[in-house]
Amino acid sequence: MRYVKRLLFPVYVLLAAAVLLEIAVRLWGYSDHYIYDPIYRPCEQSADIPYVHRPNLHNARARGSAVINTDSLGLRALESGATYGRKKDDEFRIAITGDSVTFGEGVADTGNVYPMVLAKILNRKKGGPRVTVFNYAVSAYSVRQMAATLRSRMLAIEPDLVIMAIIPADFDLSRTGTVDRWGYTAHSDGSSGLFGNDSLAKRLLRRVHLTYVLRDILHRSRAGGTGEAGTGAALSASYRYVTDFVRFAADRRLPSLVLLLPSLHQAFSPAFLARLRRDQVPFLDLGSVVSEFPVDRFMASRFDAHPSAVVHARIAALLADYLLKSGLVPGETGNGTGGK
């Protein structure tokens, strides 16, 4: 009996330490922005899009501690289950595809995400039709999923302007995982075994905050540093999705724009910007916005490097100013666009 107790003592110590560490991490708040409800489902329209948001979500917890509704299309929206019908004669529709930044990860209130703020600003303009902005962005999308979103999803709402909004990390085509049967995203291959995509054990571990700390420690030990992006193998493999987006839109006489968003850890390289100009890709570079804010104001929270609501407001103001001055959106510039 004493021998058994000696054997079990390390187990007790490990369990007690794990419980204490879990409590500490929860109090610390580090992992809060990783915890979310099963808000995803497989995409049926395109093999290049592994998952989209479930339609008609109501006050669901999304990544980055955001509380979201989705409309009947599965887009982040102000109202759960909203429907749109055919475009009205006096309506101008903008469809934006992107990743977690455009989705608004880290911004709790949907009304403060830049596509929504953009709609508010544009609808204060003088003259022109009423503007509706559709946010097709989904966390962890790469440029491949964004191009496929235009081909398979965006045309259904009869857009007058389509926008691909990217950060440097979107050139990594491996960043987009799959979706498990519960509605969570995953990167592991296969769905069998104790910790396979569809295992109950993996689902339970998603609620254990300590696992996210350990995962980040492992990831950072393997990852490289920060710097400029838009050169090398990642760009060579993925740049074609940017041009595909623009060409697909042009073939349908649909105006398009590539929006370069600010990122705290990486910047687009001069070589990438030069390539866009050479290929006559219409783009707006807002990368400099990152330098307008102290790091603590730029970040959505102390543990989340996504842009805060204040940064989203700045992005929307600059984008609205550009769209009106370039004529991509009809109407005269009104008050409050906030552009330089």
Residue-by-residue DSSP string for 306-322: EE-HHHHHHHHHHHHHH
Rounded to two decimals, the pTM is 0.90
Burial-class residue 139 by CB neighbours within 10 Å (0-12, 13-18, 19+): buried
- Residues ≥6 apart with Cβ < 8 Å to 195: 188, 201, 202, 205
User: Measuring CA to CA, which residue among 141, 160, 166, 121 is closest to residue 52?
Assistant: 141
Least confident window among 73-77, 89-93, 230-234, 317-321: 230-234
Q: Is 185 helix (H, G, I), strand (E, B) or coil?
A: strand
Distance CA 132, CA 78 (A): 12
Q: Indicate the angle between helix axes 209-222 and 2-28, nearest 10 degrees.
A: 80
Q: What pLDDT is stored for residue 335 in this prediction?
A: 46
Q: What proportion of the chain, given as a percentage, has pLDDT over 70?
A: 88
Q: Are the C-beta atoms of residues 226 and 265 closer than 8 Å to each other?
A: yes
Distance CA 340, CA 334 (A): 14
Residue 286 has pLDDT above 70, yes or no: yes
Neighbouring-strand partners of residue 61: 67
Distance CA 98, CA 175 (A): 13
The terminus-to-terminus CA distance of the chain in angstroms comes to 77
Distance CA 318, CA 339 (A): 5
Burial-class residue 245 by CB neighbours within 10 Å (0-12, 13-18, 19+): buried
Domain boundaries, the chain: 1-30, 43-49+86-177+226-326
User: Measuring CA to CA, which residue among 60, 52, 1 is closest to residue 35?
Assistant: 60
- The CATH number that domain 43-49+86-177+226-326 falls under is 3.40.50.1110
Q: What pLDDT is stored for residue 339 in this prediction?
A: 38
Task: Supply the mean pLDDT for the chain.
Answer: 89
pLDDT one-digit tens code per residue, 243-256: 999 999 999 999 99
Q: What pLDDT is stored for residue 60 in this prediction?
A: 97
Least confident window among 137-141, 178-182, 252-256, 290-294: 178-182
State both tokens at 59.
Answer: 């006050």
Q: Is 172 helix (H, G, I), strand (E, B) or coil?
A: coil
The top-scoring range by mean pLDDT among 3-7, 27-31, 111-115, 124-128 is 111-115
Mean per-residue pLDDT for 289-301? 97
Distance CA 320, CA 49 (A): 29
Q: What pLDDT is stored for residue 222 in this prediction?
A: 63
Give 6 or 172, the one with higher predicted confidence: 172
Q: What pLDDT is stored for residue 196 in this prediction?
A: 61
Secondary element (H or E) of residue 162: strand 161-166
Q: What pLDDT is stored for residue 340 in this prediction?
A: 36
Q: What pLDDT is stored for residue 40 in this prediction?
A: 97
Residue 233 has pLDDT above 80, yes or no: no
Distance CA 257, CA 322 (A): 11
Residue 6 has pLDDT above 80, yes or no: no
Q: What pLDDT is stored for residue 293 in this prediction?
A: 98
Distance CA 152, CA 200 (A): 32
Which ranges of the chain does DSSP label H, i.e. alpha helix? 2-28, 100-103, 114-122, 143-152, 200-205, 209-222, 232-251, 270-278, 295-298, 309-326
Neighbouring-strand partners of residue 52: 41
Q: Is 257 helix (H, G, I), strand (E, B) or coil?
A: strand
